[in-house]
Structure 1
Amino acid sequence: MQAAPVSAPQQVVVREVGLRDGLQVLARPVPTAFKCDWILLAYAAGLRHIDVGTYAAPGRLPQMADTPEVVAFATTLPDLQVCVQVHDAEGAARAFDAGVAMVTLPISASDRYGQASVGRNAAQMLQELAQISTLRDERAMATQIEAGISTAFSCMRLGHMAPEVVLGLVRESVQRGADQIGLGDTFGHATPEAVRELFQRARPLTNGRTLNAHLHGDDSGHLATVEATLDVGVTHVDASLAGMGGSRLVPGTHGNVSLEAVAELLQRRGVDVGVDRRTLAELRRFAGVNPDALALFGAMGRAAEEARRRYPFDLGTY
């Protein structure tokens, strides 16, 4: 049976993920003060949902080691919905103590990628999700829990990801207490048709939970995938400043869809996300002052070699 048509949303939440998804791929950490100033400018630009870091095991993500300090600053800003990624229940407990609005637990549809990224396969991460949900309920916390399903469309090692695998993870995540489900095109390979179909099929499995689109790719081709999610009623979209990001395990992959391009797209569609584009441009200039971030901006601006955009792909560490 074909799913009933869903009207395009009139309101869209855009979450800035550059502070985490972008900066985690850098060779070395950037100063904490630089991150806090980034948050201030993003806040001044009107952004109210920002992913500011990751609570990870010591040594796994040195670029995110200052997440507690960054969170402590970010949570002082009125009405800012501070989000962090966590890799286990221990990280979630730290995030709960810090008063964040949302924790995202990454669950890879590709067990191979999940083992390389966070040291656990999907089944193990679902167990962590159940523990996090129980902990949240025991503490009577208002913190939202997102199951961020990565490699939802493809894996650089294994190729095309069967939708049934991803839909099974959506179903399991809802059963284990997720309030929001994110579907991620980790490598920017998904077509608009594939994105539209997967989100359409996922919606009835969420029991009314929020669906979030976490898409990668250059603006020239992959804004069409963002449009595809909007066309089927998705109201939450991740994007990063200047399209920063990419897989930290596979160098040269696409960054996230760019915040500036998504804001412009939504404006063309008549959706006001409350973002001041002049201040956003100031934020981009500020971030470019940092040598590491500037180098990353340059990398995002160069087209990757065609061979590095296909799979099978014989590079990377997983």
Structure 2
Amino acid sequence: MFLGFHCFCWVGKGMSNQKDIDILVSEVGPRDGLQSIKQTMPTDMKKMWISALSEAGVREIEVGSFVPPKLLPQMADCADLVQHALTLENVFVTALVPNLRGAESAFKSGVQKITIPVSVSEPHSLSNVRKTHEQMYSEVASIVALRNEQYPNVLIEAGLSTVFGCTIQGIVTEKESLFMANKMAALGIDEVGLADTVGYATPLQVKSLFKQLKIELGNIAGSAHFHNTRGQGLANVLAAYEVGVTTFDASQGGIGGCPYAPGASGNIVTEDLVFLLESMGLRTGIDIEKLVAAREWLKKALPNEPLYGFIPDAGVGKAFKYAKDM
């Protein structure tokens, strides 16, 4: 085990059923990765890709978002993908929902967890979900009420976006982000995740905010979601881990970005993240060779889409050992 850092115990609900791993890598490629790509990936190809990710040992997959097909045609098959993913062994199935209507559809599909995107920056909220903060509070309260009444086993995460800055608003303060996190907790959500939507975060900012979030919210504090827009993604992962974060979002091939945040490029690369964590002695439960092989479905379905990552080209090297073998 990697024992180089003194950490808080940061075990959110996403990790509570993962006794044989140290870090939960949540694959968001089928949602965050594909949402900015104009060419629609065929549903059968998505299913094969999700199955390949599962076979590689990925434990949590965000399969899509429940949004109007006319806005994001790429996400029109989300309910179908939820049903497929539920047939896979050891996969926790999640989806994004921007509003009550999307939540209703998600709950009916059988999804195990929903993430509600809540922008700390109000200008981004208006651009992304067309709601002010006050309107978003009402929407979250309605979603939580519906879950409590009819779908008590579904987890709800508030995925706070633009927590480290916004291309529209500019500076977003730690005070603003913590206020929003506490507001979501008061509304009854189960987890609060923090997202660096446009890649502004630095390791010192990450460490400070996640440390304070844990102090204020305890185990409601959840995942870290980093974009690699300015090359700081994996450095920010390490900073978050140092203060006890144990769940990280990533996208295969580094695809993705927010279509309503100008300049936002892709997520951190799942393959590179897994290599980093396993090299540090942290068990992810993921087989890197099988994970790299899963990229083939992206190449087949989206042949003109660039894929990123160092490990797929360089390999893991002869000195590499999985954490479980150390």
Normalising by structure 2, we get a TM-score of: 0.85
CA distance in 2, matches of 1:95, 1:135: 12
Which of the residues 98, 102, 109 maps onto 2:113? 102
Deviation at 1:95, TM superposition (A): 1.2
Matched, 1:147 2:158: yes
Q: Which moved more, 1:99-108 or 1:119-128?
A: 119-128
5+ residue gaps, structure 2: 1-5, 11-20, 311-326
Match of 2:305 among 289, 295, 299: 295
Residues of 2 paired with 1:66 and 1:117: CA distance? 21
Quote how far apart the aligned CAs of 1:219 are: 9.0
SS of the residue corresponding to residue 21 of structure 1 reads: helix
| TM-score, normalised with respect to structure 1 | 0.87
How far the C-alpha of 1:86 sits from its partner, in A, is 0.3
Considering only aligned residues, what root-mean-square deviation do their CA atoms show, in Å? 1.9
The 1:124–1:284 alpha-carbon spacing in structure 2 relative to 1, beyond 3 Å, is: same
Match of 2:78 among 53, 64, 67: 67
> What pairs with 1:226-245 in structure 2 (closer than 5 Å)?
226-245=237-256
Question: Is 1:269 the counterpart of 2:283 in the alignment?
Answer: no
Question: For residue 123 of structure 1, what is the aligned residue in structure 2?
Answer: 134
* Secondary structure of the corresponding residue to residue 232 of structure 2: helix
- Distance, in Å, in 1 between the alignment partners of 2:291 and 2:230 is 17
Distance in 2, matches of 1:59 and 1:179, equals: 30
Counterpart contact for 2:113–2:154, Cα < 8 Å: yes
State the match for 1:307 in structure 2.
none
- For residues 244-295 of structure 1, give each alpha carbon's deviation from its aligned partner in whole angstroms, at most 9, with x where no partner exists: 1112134653211110111011112111111011111111133112235x42
Question: After alignment, is 139-148 or 190-199 more displaced?
Answer: 139-148
**Cα distance, 1:291–1:78 mapped onto 2, change above 3 Å:** closer
Equivalent pair of 1:8/1:230 in contact (CA under 8 Å): no
CA distance, structure 1, for counterparts of residue 189 and residue 9 of structure 2: 24
- TM superposition outliers: structure 1 runs of 4+ over 4 Å: 7-10
Superposed CA offset, 1:157-194 (max 9, x none)? 22121111110110010011111111000011110000
Percentage of matched positions with identical amino acids: 35
Contact 2:121 2:166 (C-alpha < 8 Å) held by counterparts: yes
The SS at the match of 1:106 is strand
* Aligned residue number for residue 6 of structure 1: 7
SS in 2 for 1:52: strand
Matched residue, 2:220: 209
2:133, 2:258 → 1: CA distance?
Answer: 18
Indicate which of 255, 258, 264 corresponds to 1:253: 264
Which residue, 164, 179, 192 being the options, matches 2:175? Answer: 164
Task: Give 1:244's aligned amino acid.
Answer: I
Which blocks of at least 5 consecutive residues in structure 1 are unaligned? Answer: 302-318
